[in-house]
Amino acid sequence: MYSTQMEAAKKGIVTKEIKRVAEKEKIDEKVLMELVATGKVAIPANKNHKMLDPEGVGKGLSTKINVNLGISRDCADVDKEMEKVKTAIDMKAHAIMDLSSYGKTHEFRERLVQTSTAMIGTVPIYDAMGFYDRDIKDITPKEFLDVVKKHAEDGVDFMTIHAGLNRETVEIFKRNKRLTNIVSRGGSLLYAWMELNNRENPFYEYYDQLLDICREYDVTLSLGDALRPGSINDSTDICQIKELMTLGELTLRAWEKDVQIIIEGPGHMSIDEIEANMILQKKLCHGAPFYVLGPIVTDIAPGYDHITSAIGGAIAATHGADFLCYVTPAEHLRLPTLDDMKEGIIASRIAAHAADIAKNVKGARDWDNEMSKARKEIDWNKMFDLALDSEKAKRYREESSPEHEDSCTMCGKICAMRTMNKVMANESLTLSE
């Protein structure tokens, strides 16, 4: 018998989840089992999430992407969010993170667990605010843990918990001024609770109880970065690194109890710092899977942050990040619409795939080679089938029809593919109109 995927792997048991992930990733089950046993790969798979088609996150596997959804006070339409869930899964998102922060969120979470084949994440401290409906100062440590347990019972596969923001780290933050202070919502709420009550972070103080909950339901703990940089000015500062060191210690404590760990990372960061940050995280956190928001590589592009994030995400994943949280064009501006979500997913999938090519993930280049073959053969239907966004590719083609079907309206008769195909087949070539 086993309680978690990690415990099973340590005992040499190939679970159905390990078998499925090995099949998807085209790797040997024993190799995957060793990676899970040593914490290099996490397979978030809550025992109560019956619809799950499991994914592996970590070393040697394809880069995964997460989509943030959820209701808020200003946008509380559960049906609209469920429409986004269906679309996100159809667009091959690997994870759905419910960031609901208003009212009684159980309805949305319950429907999500009942329908989502993708792994599901939550941030319980958001839900605590609505669930208890009182000032954060008055929520007790036990009540915070009760919300975690409720999410675990409901079937959530991984949870973001900002356990690394302890009193020691807070003092360092106070002594080292930042341009944008604390931009993590969960981190700012915990900081407020700690300051108002003059107490230790409850998730740090009662970390063992938190691990017991995770072990019981096989919830993967996604250790949140409360002090992630919210501007390129604040990246790789002492606050970020001190918290990361604490997360490394908490990782070892979790593994002792067979609880799987994912480490969360920046944030906003200039391009030249990304590689070093990935190396540092892997070193300080013992090779645990790394989950990044972006990194967003410039602060000046609201409305286009899916692009600034995809640039950073591709570089980050190339150098060790395993899991990319999507960013939409609406980042920093509003709750994303369905169309915003689609753009964010496409941008993140491009970044993830580009990194998989660089990392030599098994089979990653095959997709590109098939597309190149279809382009050489000017096989439009095949190109559409292979396109990351088939609908958009078809629409662009249909909106500007060429005179010659074996070309497009940009090149016409002087299409290089058309020219080379005819010349190499010893066919006559007429370029005049």
Instruction: Output the known binding site.
Output: 68, 97, 126, 162, 184-186, 225-228, 264, 268, 291, 332, 408, 411, 415
DSSP reduced 3-state for 121: strand
Rg (CA), the chain: 23
- List binding-site positions for substrate: 68, 97, 126, 162, 184-186, 225-228, 264, 291
User: Cα angle at 270 between 269 and 272, to 5 degrees?
Assistant: 125
Q: Please, where are the H alpha helices in 206-304?
A: 207-217, 238-256, 271-284
Start-end of H helices in 257-389 = 271-284, 305-318, 338-358, 364-376, 380-386
Binding residues for [4Fe-4S] cluster: 408, 411, 415
Q: Write out the two tokens for 391.
A: 């609908």
**Residue from 247, 255, 268 nearest 160 by CA:** 247
In three-state form (DSSP H/G/I as H, E/B as E, the rest C), the secondary structure along 176-205 is CCCCCCCCCHHHHHHHHHHHHHCCCCHHHH
| Token pair 């740090």 in the structure block, residue | 204
**Beta-carbon count within 10 A of 37 CB:** 19
In the annotated binding site for Zn(2+), the residues are 268, 332
- In angstroms, the CA 320 to CA 423 distance is 45
Q: How far apart are CA 72 and CA 312, in angstroms?
A: 28
